Amino acid sequence: MDIKILGTGCVKCNNLEAATRAAIGELGLAIELEKVTDPGEIASWGVMSTPALVIDDDVVSVGRVLSAAEVKQLLIASA
């Protein structure tokens, strides 16, 4: 499973990263999380509002800070 956080490093982006790391830990998954901060690369995903969460090359959330429980549900659905 490939997970990316798209964001420039703002508070919301950092909060989504923390929630995602918590969800990964709670599920006991051995997944590397990639942070994408380059505005050009973020735009190449079609994302105009950050933060965004990408799971296996699918943008699953844009412009929201998800809770760890919400991220867990997305991870389970994508497994």
Average pLDDT of the chain, as a whole number: 95
Given a cut of 90, is residue 16 above it in pLDDT? yes
Number of neighbouring beta carbons within 10 Å of residue 40? 6
Given a cut of 90, is residue 79 above it in pLDDT? no
Among candidate residues 6, 13, 24, 54, the one labeled active-site is 13
Among candidate residues 1, 2, 10, 73, the one labeled active-site is 10
* Residue 63 designated active-site: no
Per domain, the residue ranges of the chain are 3-78
Model pLDDT for residues 22-60, shown as the tens digit of each residue: 999 999 998 889 999 999 999 999 999 999 999 999 999
Average of per-residue pLDDT across 9-33: 95
* Residue 10 designated active-site: yes
Residue of 8, 53, 7 whose CA lies nearest to 31: 53
3-78, CATH topology level: Glutaredoxin (3.40.30)
